Structure 1
């Protein structure tokens, strides 16, 4: 009985999640001339290529996707490496008060991001990093560290401490212990953290419109917001086609790394 109820609930949740995706795809396929202001439930044509081309030509969507790819890849890699080192220090190394260090780092995920905007804006302008690629990578990396640390640290707690003790008896230092023993063991958690942080950076709009102004620095979501702001001129199907294109990289990344993602979450739980 419990299994039946669980399957019904999961099926209902899946349908609720899939309906907006279905509407997005159907209306992105619809030619602009066939769209009359109401969402379509049945495709009115197959104009996805024309709609994507229109969005690409009338905005900086392509440049925004390149910028987001740069920001998401670099910042997620930096955050994952920092999280791995921090998790190793808190769990494996004999630091004092590891619980305090855990909450001190993890606290970054509990604060609303809006409180950082004003001081960040002033700091970026003062440091001449406003509207620069390096500035965006650094702020994204800093924000991504706490949650990545949470994932990696939880995974590290599942590794038997006897492994580290045996390696230290063989003369391994902390650097070798991390690079040659623990780093390969936590690979799946690093992949999972990378997927989470890559997706978050790719989908971010708040910092994209706050810390950048020029089209050659703005991420894809800021470019998509620009298209959405002018949808009267291009038509809703063009906006939806652009949104569909912008979502593809994260979907491809998740599907390609799904095995590492699932195994890491199971071990961390």
Structure 2
């Protein structure tokens, strides 16, 4: 009985996830001129390529797509690197009050992002960082560090201290211990943290619409919002084609590295 209920529950969750995806794809296929105004459950023509081209070129999704790819890859990698160094300092280095530093860094995940918007907007306007790629990348890195630090630090605490002690006896510096021992051993956790941060940066809308306004600087989620406003009169097929474009990178990254991701999460949470 319990197994049957579990299978039904899982099947229901899968169905709830697949139905919106199915509707997105079917309605993105529909030609704009043939759209009736209500969601179609069966394909009504095939204009996917035309809708994708309109969303990519005419609506400006392509430029924002490349900007978001830059933000997600560079900021995700930079945040993971900073988080790994911070975790190494808290766990391995003989610093005073390591628990204090852990909670100080981890507290970045405890506060709602909305509380930072007003001071950030004022600071960015005064510092000429508003509507710049550098300004957006700085906030993305700072935002992504705390959770990546949490994941990496959790796995680092499981590593036996004898490894570090043996390396120090052999004359290795802390820098060498970090790059030659800890980084290779933490590869799965670093990868899992990167996938988390890549997805978070890619899906960001809040900072994108608050700290930018230029199409060549805006992330793709902000551009998708603009697309929704600009093409509302022509019907959803172009908007849904843009949403299809936007959803592909995170799906590809997760499906490609799902094994590495699961190993990293398991190592970081056990």
* TM range, smaller chain: over 0.9
Q: 8 Å contact 2:83–2:145 — kept in the other structure?
A: yes
- Residue 8 of structure 1 and its aligned partner are, at CA, apart by 2.4
The question of 1:55 aligning with 2:55 is answered yes
The aligned runs of 1:2-13 (5 Å cut-off) are 2-13=2-13
What secondary structure does 1:82 align onto? helix
Alpha-carbon deviations, 1:233-258, whole Å to 9, x = none? 33201100100011111111112221
Is 1:160 matched up with 2:142? no
Question: After superposition, where does 1:1-269 map in structure 2 within 5 Å?
Answer: 1-269=1-269
Worse-superposed segment, 195-204 or 4-13: 4-13
Higher mean Cα deviation, 177-186 or 154-163? 154-163
Gaps of 5+ in 1: none
Q: Deviations over 1:121-159 (max 9, x none)?
A: 111111111111111111100000001111111111222
TM-score (norm 2): 0.96
Q: Between Structure 1 and Structure 2, how many residues are aligned?
A: 269
| Pair 2,157 (structure 1): closer, same or farther in 2 beyond 3 Å | farther
What is the rounded CA distance, in whole Å, between the counterparts of 1:108 and 1:160 in structure 2?
28
Offset of residue 211 of structure 1: 0.8
Give me the whole-angstrom Cα distance separating, in 2, the residues matched to 1:218 and 1:250: 18
Aligned to 2:233, the other structure's residue is in SS state helix
Contact 1:189 1:265 in 2 (8 A): yes
Confirm or deny: 8 A CA contact 2:192 2:264 kept in the other structure.
Answer: yes
The TM-score, its normalising length taken from structure 1, stands at 0.96
- Report which stretch shifted further, 91-100 or 142-151: 91-100
Q: In 2, are the aligned partners of 1:68 and 1:202 still within 8 Å (CA)?
A: yes
- CA distance in structure 1 between the partners assigned to 2:266 and 2:224 by the alignment: 35
Listed as ranges, the gaps of 5+ residues in structure 2 are none
For 1:109-131, what per-residue CA distance to the aligned partner results, in whole angstroms no more than 9, with x for missing partners?
11111111111111111111111
CA deviations 1:145-184 (Å, max 9, x no partner) are 0011111111112222221122122121111110000000
